[in-house]
Each structure stands twice: as structure tokens, then as C-alpha cells.
Amino acid sequence: MTNPNQQLSLDALLSIGKVISVKGRLVEVLVSKTKNSSILLYDGQIIKNVSVGSYVKIGKGFEELIGKIEGEYTTEDKAFNQKSYSNERDKIKRILSISLLGYLQGDTFRQGVKELPLIDNECFLLTQNELDGVHNFIKKINGVPDLKLKIGHLASETGKVIEVGINSLFASHIGIFGNTGSGKSYTLAGLYHKLFEQYKGKAGFVQNARFLLIDFNGEFIKEDTIENSDKTITDDNKNIFPLSTDRDGSSRKLIISHHALYNSTFWSILLQATEKTQAPFITSALSSKYINERISSDQGIIELIKSTIKLITTNITVNQEKNMVESFLDEIGKFNVNRSILGITELKQFYSEELKFFAAREDRRYYCMINGFTYNSNQDDGFYENVISMKVNQLIRVDSNSLTDLQRIKLIINFHYFYSIQKGHYQKEHIGHILGRLDTRIKDLDKLVIVNDQETTLSKPMNIVSLKDVNIHMRKLIPLLLCNQIYEEKKKENDNSKYLNIIIDEAHNILSTSSIRESETWKDYRLETFEEIIKEGRKFGVFLTISSQRPSDISDTIISQLHNYFIHRLINNRDIQAVERTISYLDKVSFEALPILPTGTCVLAGLCAHIPVIIEIDKIDDEFEPRNKTIKPTDFWE
């Protein structure tokens, strides 16, 4: 306890001047002429004197208001008396512009301006205790102080450690922004590494906490994980999915549920379907009751083959090509690779030899087979029984169990394609491209996902999905497919002991609004998923952490709804404006620092820090650093 005398001398030392103007939250203080040195000494302690970016206290009666110095300027003292014996320097008046941030309650800082100062109120520097109070970000939640996580220290004062509340940081949407090489991935790795250090191995954590890290560049998995996979995969806390669309496919695949797979929007995007015709075609294929009822049984598939051939031969369209039956059988014949449908080659050969198409007369076109008897498809004289049903029964063998779910979808689309064309619902020219793409895309998808309703991709707390070796068509879609699924599941589960954090490094890859190549469907799908998570996720315990080089490319809706921001160096004006436009927490000083922040230093603002601070993020062990060191070319040039 300081005695009254000490308090007086402390006040005298710390007093820097008086308020001379109050304009809303902005206050101007005239600095006393005795306070021009850069540090002060009191009782053996060094106290930093007035500087831009530091904090001051303004006393108003019993209230102690806290503000941040945003700038300083000088004017000439009109009342200065040339004739008296005084220093020429005293002619200058120093004026500080201060923006009010909050007030002190004891030693605790409270955010918000509940009162404004009056002219002539005295302004003080903060004591160490008060300064600690201002930088103490640990809030009480229902009366209990939040658990602490040390993340770094103040950039301007290396001794001042910055700790944040684990709940106020991790139960929030986090944004990490900054130019390339400014330290985003490092900050991201640091935050989650520290959290895991604190909680790994705890039963509740292992059971209830789930993190999904989408890693576009493979920075967060070590090079050797692919060959030496069991070393990392047996790690109790971590699953690694080094996805790949190259020849061999992924060593470990994502687990997708049936429900998520039967999403027509997903298929529309995957197959780059046009909105007007192709997308509705896909929707109707996936929801076709007739096909879906039959697709899972051997007999059902045989029926589908028969009914499609019947449609082609009896429901002849205006421009029907001669070899429509063969085209159909070619598509179905592709399912012999895993021996799901056999005998198609034989059936095709039979039809090419025996079945003739007559189209000479516009009004009378038909298929005909002469085999002792003559069977015409336009006359009901046993054509179906003898030419189709009997032959299919004779030659075709189906093993529907060996069809994978992806192939089943392909088969559904195949059947529906021929059905729609013969029925005249769609033109071949309009939907033909879909079949063209179907093969390659399904092959790709097959390398990345397996369909299983019993298991989940997120079986351990941290799940890292690397998309480095995934081709451009799948790169954006896979994260969406997965996020969409796990979010939907989380919503259904609605269990608030379960926590899910979706972490996306290089989020502009999927959240960018400006790409002209993408279709409206894609935008809607993404919007549905991520904007919904941002807006509603909190209620279901789902949080997003996004990191990006280009905040200006990410939709304002997303950026403005984030709760906590780590903003690294930003140089581009558009990015700075995007941040300015959407992040209301930032003050002028922090803003102006953005283009000149060193690597590893960032502005922390948001719910977990009641005032924005510029901090240096702690170093992490080399072993846990993201694999993204800037190369040093000259090392290899000798």
C-alpha cells in the first residue's frame, strides 16, 4: 500500500498534462513542459514516457478513464513571453490526441466509454500495475476466470507477455490475414500447437474436441508421412490424409456418408453442369424413384437394362442415331472392370449383327430382327420378349454388391441419361457433356473418398487434410463436400459437449468471391456451407479459423462475422481497406502499423482482447513449424 505522500509524488511524476478538448471519444491533452524525456524513473522502476501507441489514464473525479495515444502534434504558444528569461523550447506546445477505450475498476480494465472527461481533467501515465490490468485479457465466464493460453508478447515491450482466454479464443471464429511470408501459417500452427500441448491426452479432449485442418499446400504434414505413414497415423491425437489424385491415389481416403454423396449440388459442380439444363438433369437423376428402387439389386439392374433398351427401340426420337443401342451398351459395358455387370460385349455383338434400324420413312422408323420370324419394334409381335428380355436374361450377369457407391451413382446417371433422351425431356447435345466428364471425375473422386456410414473422417482430435497433390477440379470441391457433411452431422447431433473447429489455411482458395470461372451454383453451395457456419455454427459448437493472403477477395459477410483477428503485414491497399471496412475493433494506430509489421508480428483484435494490441507470436519448436521456409537460393549456387 502506498502511503499518501508516496501517492502524491507518484501522481506528480506520472501526470503528463491536462485535457484541452473533448470531441466524442477523441480527447486532446496539452503536455506539461516538464515531461519531454523519453523515460521516467520512479522507485527504481523505469516507466516509459509519453509515446504514440501507449496508454494513458485521465482522472475525472473518482473515475479513471483509459485512452490510447493516437498521435501528437505541436503548436506555438501564443501567450509565450519573449521578454522573460526562459528557454526558447518552451514556446512549443505539445498536444496529444487520445482515443478513449475504457475505464479502470480497481486494477481491472473495463472496455467501453461510459463517461467523457472534462476540460482540465488531469492525464497520467499508467503504472506497471495498471498497464498489466489493461493487458490482462482473461475474462471471467460466469464468475470463473477463463483458462489461459500464452500466445506471445507485446511487440513494443518484450517483457509483457500476452495471454488470452482459451474459451474466448477457441469458441470463436478466427481470422488470420497477411501477405505472403508474413507469418500466418506459423501463427496458426502456433495457436493450435499450444492448445494441443495443454490438452493432448486428456480424455475429455480426445473424446469431444475435433479439429479439421484443410491444408492446400501440404505445409502441415511432414514429407515422410506418405512413405512412413504409420509413424504419424498412430499418433493418438492426429489423423493425416495426404490426398492425391495421381496414378496411385491416396494412401488414406476421406470417409463420406451416403447422405452427403447424394447431394445433387455437389454433382452439378463436380460435373460442371450448366444451370439451366444439366443441373436439373442431375437432380432428377439422383431423385428418380424408378431407378433408385432398382439400382441396388441384381434383378433391378437387369430390369433397368431391359427397360432402357425397350425405350430406345420403341420410343424412337426424331433424330435418333442408328447405333443408339450400342452407345447405351458401351456405357453399361464399362462396369465390367470390377465384374459388376458381365455379358455386355456379347449382347452388343448380337445386336450389331442382328438388329437393324429402319429410318427411311420419317413417319415409320423401327428396329427389326429377322430370326426365322420377323420381329418389328413398332408392332407388338413379341419384340420385347424375344429380342430384349430373353437375350438380356441369357447373356447378362449382374453382381450389384460389387458396385461401389460412386459407380452406383454413375450407373444411375447413365440410365437416366438414356431415359431422358428417349422420352424427349432433354436433348442429347445439351446433356451429353455430363457423360463425358462422369468417367474421369468419378475416377478422381474414387482416389480421394470412400463411402461409409459407420465411420467418420474425424476420429481423432486433429485431422489434417492435405490437398497438395489433388488436381484442380477436386481441390476446391473436396473441402466443401467434407465441411458440408460434418457441419450437417454436427447440426443433427446438437450435442453441446462436442466441439468442432474447421481450420482453413489459404482460405481464398475456396472463399474467394472474385473468381470469374466459377458458376453461380458453386457460389451458392459455398455460401450455403460457409456463410451458414459463420452465422449459425456457434450454436452447434462449430467454429471456423480462416487464414488468407487476400482479405479483399473473401466475402464481407464472412470477414465481418469473425470474432478474433490476427492481422499480419498487409501491403495492398485493397486488403487494408477490406480490413478497415469490416473489422470495427481496429484503432488508427494498429491500422497504420499494418504495412510495416515485421514477420511474426501481428495485430490481435477482437473478443479475446478487449483492446487491439500489436504482438509478437511465440516461436514454436522447429519440429512443429509449418514446412514452408522461404528458400535461400544462394545455398545451392556454390
Ligand X SMILES: Nc1ncnc2c1ncn2[C@@H]1O[C@H](COP(=O)(O)OP(=O)(O)OP(=O)(O)O)[C@@H](O)[C@H]1O
Which residues are at the interface with Mg ion (CB under 5 A)? 184-185
Interface residue with ligand X among 549, 552, 555, 590 (CB under 6 A) is 549
- Determine the interface stretch with ligand X among 96-104, 259-267, 551-559, 628-636 (rule: CB under 6 A): 628-636
| DSSP label at residue 297 | S
Residue 632 binds ligand X (CB under 6 A): no
**Which of 317/599 has CB closer to Mg ion?**
599
Task: Work out the number of other CB atoms within 10 angstroms of the CB of residue 206.
Answer: 14
Judged by CB under 6 A, the stretch of 29-37, 72-80, 180-188, 359-367 that binds ligand X is 180-188
DSSP code of residue 627? S
Per CB under 6 A, the list member of 97, 172, 185, 377 interacting with ligand X is: 185
The residue among 420 and 601 lying less far from Mg ion, judged by its C-beta, is 601
Rounded CA separation 525/266 (Å): 8
What are the DSSP E strand ranges found in 140-280?
A: 140-141, 144-145, 148-154, 161-165, 174-177, 209-215, 238-244, 254-256
Q: Select from 183, 242, 541, 551 the one that contacts ligand X (CB under 6 A).
A: 183
Report the nearest approach of ligand X to the CB of residue 552 (Å): 14
Q: Of the two residues 28 and 219, which places its CB atom closer to ligand X in the complex? A: 219
Stretch of residues binding ligand X (CB under 6 A), selected from 76-84, 135-143, 178-186, 288-296: 178-186
List helix spans (H) across 240-337. 258-261, 264-270, 278-287, 289-294, 298-314, 324-333
Q: Which option in ligand X, Mg ion, none does residue 183 bind, with CB closer than 5 to 8 A by kind?
A: ligand X
Q: Among all residues, whose Cβ is closest to Mg ion?
A: 185
Residue whose CB is nearest to ligand X in the complex, by number = 600
Q: Least distance to Mg ion from the beta carbon of 217, Å? A: 7
Measured from the CB atom, the residue of 320 and 628 that comes closer to ligand X is 628
Binding mask 585-624 for ligand X (x = CB under 6 A): --------------xx----------------x-x-----
Contacts of 465 (CB under 8 A, 6+ apart): 212, 213, 214, 215, 241, 243, 254, 478, 479, 482
Rounded alpha-carbon distances, angstroms, from residue 408 to 264, 402, 462, 587: 14, 10, 32, 57
Q: Which partner in ligand X, Mg ion, none is near 600 (CB below 5 to 8 A by kind)?
A: ligand X
Q: Does 184 bind ligand X (CB under 6 A)?
A: yes
Helix (H, G, I), strand (E, B) or coil at 203: helix
Q: Does 479 bind ligand X (CB under 6 A)?
A: no
Q: Indicate the residue among 562 and 617 with the shorter CB distance to ligand X.
A: 617
**Residue number with CB closer to ligand X (314 or 628):** 628
Q: Is 625 in the site for ligand X (CB under 6 A)?
A: yes
Using CB under 6 A, count the residues that bind ligand X. Answer: 18
Residue 144 CB, nearest approach to ligand X (Å): 31
Asked if 583 and 565 count as a contact pair (C-beta separation under 8 A), the reply is yes
Which of 129, 165, 48, 159 is closest to 616 using CA atoms? Answer: 159
Element (H, E) at 184: helix 184-199
Which of 629, 632, 635, 638 binds ligand X (CB under 6 A)? It is 629
Among 53, 59, 181, 249, binds ligand X (CB under 6 A): 181
Select 153 or 184, whichever has its Cβ closest to Mg ion. 184
Which among Mg ion, ligand X, none contacts residue 630 (Cβ within 5 to 8 A by kind)? ligand X
Give dist(CA 542, CA 535) in Å, integer. 10
Piece of 47-55, 173-181, 457-465, 495-503 that binds ligand X (CB under 6 A): 173-181
Whether 184 and 192 have beta carbons less than 8 Å apart is answered as no
Comparing C-alpha atoms, which of 617, 619, 571, 575 is closest to residue 596? 571
Residue with cell 431422358: 420
- Comparing CB distances to ligand X, the nearer of 361 and 629 is 629
Residue 144, SS3 per DSSP: strand
What are the b/e assignments for 446-459, b being 16+ CB within 10 Å? bbbbbbeeeebbbe
User: Binds 625, which of Mg ion, ligand X, none (CB < 5 to 8 A, cut-off by type)?
Assistant: ligand X
Q: Which among 123-131, 174-182, 354-362, 440-448 is the span making contact with ligand X, rule CB under 6 A? A: 174-182
Which CB atom, from 175 or from 183, has the smaller least distance to ligand X? 183
459 φ/ψ angles, rounded to the nearest 5 degrees: -90, -15
Q: What is the DSSP string of 580-616?
A: HHH-TT--HHHHHHGGGPPTTEEEEEETTEEEEEEEE
The least distance separating ligand X from the CB of residue 569, rounded to whole angstroms, comes to 8
Nearer to ligand X, 181 or 249 (CB): 181
Nearest distance from C-beta of residue 322 to ligand X, angstroms: 57
Length of the chain measured in residues: 638
What do you get for the CA distance between the two ends of the chain, in Å? 66
Cβ proximity to Mg ion: between 117 and 152 the closer is 152
Which of the residues 186 through 215 are near ligand X (CB under 6 A)?
Answer: 186
Residues 489-518 that bind ligand X (CB under 6 A): none
Q: Which three three-digit cell numbers place residue 484? A: 458440408
**Whole-angstrom distance, CA of residue 420 vs CA of residue 313:** 14
* Residues lying near ligand X in the complex (CB under 6 A): 178, 180-186, 549, 599-600, 617, 619, 625-626, 628-630
